[in-house]
Structure 1
Amino acid sequence: MIKKIDVTDLKPKMFIHDINCPWIEHPFLRDSFVVESDHDIEKIAAYGIRQVYIDTALGPDMPEAPTVHEIHKQLDERMQHLGRTLKRVPPPLISVEKERVKAKQVCREANRIVHNVLQDCRLGKQVELEQVEPVVSNIVDSIFRNPDAIVSLLRIKQADRYTFQHSVAVGTLLISFCRALGIDRKTIEMVGLGGLLHDIGKMQVPNNILNKPGKLTESEFEIMKNHVRDGCLVLEKTPGMSPIALSVAAEHHECYDGSGYPLGLKGDEISLYGQMAAVVDVYDALTSTRIYHVGIEPTEVLRKLLEWSDHHFNLTMVHQFIRSIGIYPVGTLVRLESGYLAVVVEQHHENLLHPRVRAVFNSRSRSYMPPRDFDLSKPGCNDRIASFEVPSRWGVDPGRFI
């Protein structure tokens, strides 16, 4: 049986089923292993890991600990409550279909420019803000017209271009996040700029570590962590760089409980924009497929962010991020109560549980069907989302149907 326990309750010989760590670059070679000694427990705690999942069939039990089923049920109930109570910002100016054409162009240009800027940085050249600022402005324009269009494109990444495309995704998600919070445009642009450049310090990390097709060793992990300070040194020397943009780059790996790096800031010692960036950075990293990591479905990652907000993230920021992106983000494959598999194509601004979806597959006959749209928020629509689905299980590519 899989159970969740505090690290303080770990004992030698227990079998860790999942280290429950929100960072991809943690220093453990495996996510599952036997706790050999008290030193292992101290090492886990030293990296800010507060709770883990154990397998009681492979090691000692803790009878009073909740099971993974109980934890998932609690998190699902919390997600459903948020879906009923959180409201999005007012309706977009144009439809997601119309904006998607422009959004593709904006996304392509953003990836090209950020790739060039980061490559120039690797060669020792200074960041030129006049190259990046128009990109930020174009993303803001797209988000203000319809945030779902460009956000739906962000999971499409190439393994060898991950660092650049992740930077664009974080900047874009932060802009959408800011818009949902009602932040003024000038500040939004500074936050977006910080998001696009938040990982610029990784250009100082050796390629064999940055693109390693597997878990990092402890020494490699320590080198990787230096990217935050290295990035700040680059940005501090950049003429015209705003303190807000700098805070995004400086604080995106800080944790609300003080267990993050490089400064171990705690609570409101971390700026609002640093707290937002920490949530967005983990969300995009976990939903993205890389050489050694298969992307997790967005709704599952949002559920994990909610779980980790007990320690690592500001709970209010996690709630607001879910509000900005939806319980079932655009592009998510869902199963309806009717048995249809549908792709979420647009959020509803008053009900996060009832987006507009496009049914494309009959799960009962396991066959494709002519695409059919349902607005689940309409009173006459009796269908509802039963669950989110993993597209590979059904051989369905949601991107084909948006």
Structure 2
Amino acid sequence: MIKKIEVGDLRPGMYVHDLNRDWSEHPFLRNRFKLASAQDVEKIADLGLRYVYIDTDKGDDLAPSGDSNQFTPAQTSEIHRSAAIEPIVAAVPIAEELRQARHVYHEAHSIVRDMLQDCRLGKQVALEQARPVVTAITESIFRNPDALISLLRLKRADQYTFQHSVAVGTLLISFCRALNIERAEIELAGMGGLLHDIGKMRIPQELLNKAGKLTSAEFEIVKGHVEAGRGLLENTFGISPISISVAAEHHERYDGSGYPLGLIGEQISRFGQMAAIVDVYDALTSNRVYHHGTEPTAVLKTLLEGGGSHFNTRLVHQFIRTVGIYPVGTLVKLESDELAVVVEQHREDLLHPKVRTIFDARQRRFIKPRDYDLAKPSCNRRILSFEMPGRWRIEPTAYLRQ
């Protein structure tokens, strides 16, 4: 059966019947093909399409409503077994950290924007500007990682490059923290995250902002941002090899299918492998000029299903443990037809976080907030699906301060 679906609903295992593009206008060898990996999904998202046609007789179908992006208990059990990381107890409550985290986020965005724009004008990379930002992000993550990470979804499509840089740096710092990496190395990796796309400042803006599909020649030019970034950073006094590896390897893939060097497996540094996961996660969950962001839970499942080929599977499991299947600050719909904001993770039970109900979807009205711990056997609430906040005109982070 031929079915029209949104690009955000594509998953590895589906069979693409029609992209509505000529063969010369997409990077695949055939017009009809089975999606083999998360990277295939990412390539289609980068085409700027909103819809594609799939053939459910030749590949996977959409799961029934409410179930398409759910993790199974078996999957979460494997994540817990493989990840083998100790849960981190927040030093301060999220409501207390949010105000400081908001200040850190806006300051980081402002400084990274200025740094990248200066680089576009031919100026040297100003590490002295970035170091206080990295330290501030790290300190916020150490106090309560969920606060700052919950703010990363507040992106504007026209500010994507700068906000993506801050997001990758922040997520990488949190990832490193969860793996109990030494503080000094955490900050060096975070610096690499902030600067991972600095090479794009050497790429023509009209290509970076192009709404339609890039030609093969244009795509090769854009891919050059990695080597350009490596060159810029290698000529920056005081830069760490760890920071350089993040920028130089974030497009490498575990199976050797990445670029620019086609490194395989452990030829890619640990920080490069981590950066690749973080970069794809934030790119796919972000709204861009040509692409509506996909829900975090769906992206995590896509990463999990592609983990054995493009990414180190154990690191994918550890990243999911870091951000959670239902990240704090996300909006979910319960079986009771209530909308709720995820307010706290159970790191040992990723399927059942603590939530705060705020809206009656059936009667379409706000309700008095009430907290539920979905992990308690006595709780009669269950998550049905993730909801895009824009659809309901709800800002979830506003309900984390209560």
TM-score, length-scaled by structure 1 = 0.84
> Which residue matches 2:108?
110
> Which residue matches 1:201?
199
Gaps of 5+ in 2: 4-11, 17-27
Give runs of ≥4 in structure 1 deviating > 6 Å. Answer: 10-13, 15-19
CA contact (8 A) 2:45 2:291 kept: no
> Relative CO higher for 1 or 2, CA cutoff 8 Å, sep ≥ 6?
2
One of 76, 81, 96 as aligned partner of 2:77:
81
Alignment deviations for residues 272-294 of structure 1 (CA, whole Å, 9 cap, x no partner): 10000000000001111011110
Alignment deviations for residues 74-129 of structure 1 (CA, whole Å, 9 cap, x no partner): 96455443577666523100001100010011111111111111111111111121
CA contact (8 A) 2:46 2:213 kept: yes
Check 1:163–1:122 CA distance in 2 against 1; reply closer, same or farther (3 A cut): same
> Which residue matches 1:339?
337
- Does residue 100 of structure 1 match 2:98? yes
Check 1:13–1:216 CA distance in 2 against 1; reply closer, same or farther (3 A cut): closer
Check 1:121–1:357 CA distance in 2 against 1; reply closer, same or farther (3 A cut): same
Structure 1 residue 162, shift from structure 2 partner = 1.1
Check 1:26–1:230 CA distance in 2 against 1; reply closer, same or farther (3 A cut): farther
CA contact (8 A) 2:358 2:370 kept: yes
Q: Which shows bigger deviation, 370-379 or 178-187?
A: 370-379
Give the distance between the partners of 2:379 and 2:237, measured in 1 at CA.
55
CA contact (8 A) 1:84 1:352 kept: no
Structure 1 residue 271, shift from structure 2 partner = 0.7
Give the distance between the partners of 1:99 and 1:231, measured in 2 at CA.
33
Alignment deviations for residues 234-264 of structure 1 (CA, whole Å, 9 cap, x no partner): 0000111111110000000001110000000
Check 1:166–1:73 CA distance in 2 against 1; reply closer, same or farther (3 A cut): closer
1:173 alignment partner AA: L
Gaps of 5+ in 1: 34-52
CA contact (8 A) 1:83 1:327 kept: no
CA contact (8 A) 1:88 1:324 kept: no
Structure 1 residue 389, shift from structure 2 partner = 2.4
SS, match of residue 151 in structure 2: coil
SS, match of residue 42 in structure 2: coil
Give the distance between the partners of 1:372 and 1:75, measured in 2 at CA.
25
> Which residue matches 2:304?
306
SS, match of residue 322 in structure 1: helix
- Does residue 389 of structure 1 match 2:378? no
TM-score, length-scaled by structure 2 = 0.84
Aligned-pair RMSD on alpha carbons?
A: 3.0
1:245 alignment partner AA: S
- Does residue 4 of structure 1 match 2:4? no
SS, match of residue 105 in structure 1: helix
> Which residue matches 2:55?
55
SS, match of residue 81 in structure 1: helix
Give the distance between the partners of 1:208 and 1:89, measured in 2 at CA.
44
Superposed counterparts of 1:123-134, under 5 Å: 123-134=121-132
Give the distance between the partners of 1:13 and 1:198, measured in 2 at CA.
33
Structure 1 residue 394, shift from structure 2 partner = 4.0
> Which residue matches 1:23?
42
SS, match of residue 289 in structure 1: coil
Check 1:84–1:262 CA distance in 2 against 1; reply closer, same or farther (3 A cut): closer
Superposed counterparts of 1:175-324, under 5 Å: 175-324=173-322
Structure 1 residue 393, shift from structure 2 partner = 4.4
1:81 alignment partner AA: S
- Does residue 327 of structure 1 match 2:325? yes
Check 1:25–1:111 CA distance in 2 against 1; reply closer, same or farther (3 A cut): farther
CA contact (8 A) 1:16 1:55 kept: no
Give the distance between the partners of 2:335 and 2:119, measured in 1 at CA.
51
> Which residue matches 2:357?
359
Give the distance between the partners of 2:111 and 2:357, measured in 1 at CA.
36
2:121 alignment partner AA: L
Give the distance between the partners of 2:75 and 2:94, measured in 1 at CA.
25
CA contact (8 A) 1:167 1:198 kept: yes
1:353 alignment partner AA: L
Structure 1 residue 336, shift from structure 2 partner = 2.2
Structure 1 residue 5, shift from structure 2 partner = 6.6
Check 1:193–1:84 CA distance in 2 against 1; reply closer, same or farther (3 A cut): closer
SS, match of residue 135 in structure 2: helix
- Does residue 169 of structure 1 match 2:178? no
2:364 alignment partner AA: R
- Does residue 90 of structure 1 match 2:109? no
- Does residue 371 of structure 1 match 2:369? yes
SS, match of residue 13 in structure 2: strand
SS, match of residue 341 in structure 2: strand
1:265 alignment partner AA: L
CA contact (8 A) 1:191 1:273 kept: yes
Alignment deviations for residues 32-73 of structure 1 (CA, whole Å, 9 cap, x no partner): 77xxxxxxxxxxxxxxxxxxx9415xxxx54xx554549958
Q: Which shows bigger deviation, 235-244 or 23-32?
A: 23-32
Give the distance between the partners of 2:145 and 2:392, measured in 1 at CA.
28
Structure 1 residue 265, shift from structure 2 partner = 0.4
2:42 alignment partner AA: W
CA contact (8 A) 1:214 1:292 kept: yes
Give the distance between the partners of 1:353 and 1:292, measured in 2 at CA.
32
